[in-house]
Chain A
């Protein structure tokens, strides 16, 4: 007999364990959560999105993805904790309850399942997908350089051996295309949030150009307020800004694509690091990381709920 109460949220887990836990979560909250397969990965693993919905038809929705870069383990670990948080707070947290009474949340915890498995079995430092590249011995594409947003521009590599290889064409990676197809076919997403690790940043578009987006002031204001809440828990300091201005110019990124598609509230998180571990953040920091991130996520989601467009 299994229960989400016996699941250790303060530990890193394999893909199989996370997928199995998803079934448990769905079984415990059948009126709130469904697990949808949105397609298969390059190596034919299913990609599951958890849909949190209290009913209605094609309600406005919020997209959250974690784990697009395989070695950033704290990202999907935060996704797991967040899914459980949404499930357990619905009905008790008035704000989240009101949000879910008008909107749906889609959470893709393992956006790059092949890469994630590979980090458990072969190379803990693997970042990309596992697709084969024609004419090269090097495998994989950086799935956050593969979106149709300034694709092929500065800040992405054309070399298959690079960790930031953009791929042969936009949406060439099946993992990216599966998400693109879902978002487009749904047509009513109002926010798109992608969760990475580690630099302690909250970013908004653009990455492929250093030009300001039309909603720069609003996104910046939302980001700063969200980070203020995040910081209030443990004092973790974050920077806020456009990808291009606070990290570097990077083309083909997911939130640039979502913003250009018309999803105004597009953000990317770089979760915390203690300055000592990088991608090997100790598991005892998963829950603190997820807890502080939740405050920022919740702020963004509440803002989206209160500012329909």
Chain B
């Protein structure tokens, strides 16, 4: 199975058109293997990005360098998935 240990989902509350364009540039780049859960389209909607552990520092540096505010929505994706899986297992046994 694919493992998501250390992957984070970060939420960006986009504040300007310029920030949207910077995030769109990230979206087209395949270098950091980002998975956009919510896409950069409008200042009215948040942008959620799943960032592989290996790209975390690069992505955060990029956002900070462009003064794009973000918060960590999911700190370690694998933890949530493990909980989800354990819960399913308990339910199946029940």
Contacts and interface: CB of A to CB of B under 8 A. Distances in A.
Interface residues of B, number: 29
B38 interface: yes
A73 to B, nearest CB: 9
A278 B37 CA distance: 8
B87 A11 contact: yes
7 contacts: A11-B87, A12-B84, A17-B92, A124-B84, A163-B36, A247-B41, A278-B74
A11 B80 contact: no
Given A248-B41, A276-B73, A279-B37, A125 B4 contact: yes
Interface residues of A, number: 25
Contact of B74 (A161, A247, A280): A280
Contact of B4 (A11, A124, A199): A124
Interface in A201-244: 239
A277 B74 CA distance: 7
Nearest to B77: A280
Given A122-B1, A123-B1, A280 B84 contact: yes
A248 B38 contact: no
A277 B80 contact: yes
A122 B30 CA distance: 22
Interface in B11-49: 11, 30, 35-39, 41-42, 44-46, 48
Contacts of A276: 73-74
B35 A163 contact: yes
A124 B82 CA distance: 11
Interface in A27-44: none
A279 B50 CA distance: 11
A125 B78 CA distance: 11
Nearest to B41: A248
A81 to B, nearest CB: 15
Nearest to B46: A275
Contacts of B74: 276-278, 280
Given A17-B92, A278-B73, 4 more contacts: A11-B91, A125-B2, A277-B74, A280-B80
Nearest to B35: A125
Contact of B45 (A161, A247, A282, A283): A247
Contacts of B1: 121-123
B81 interface: yes
Interface in B79-94: 80-81, 84, 87-88, 91-92, 94
Contacts of B77: 280
B80 A248 contact: no
Contacts of B9: 278
Contacts of B80: 277, 280
Nearest to B84: A280
Contacts of A199: 38, 45
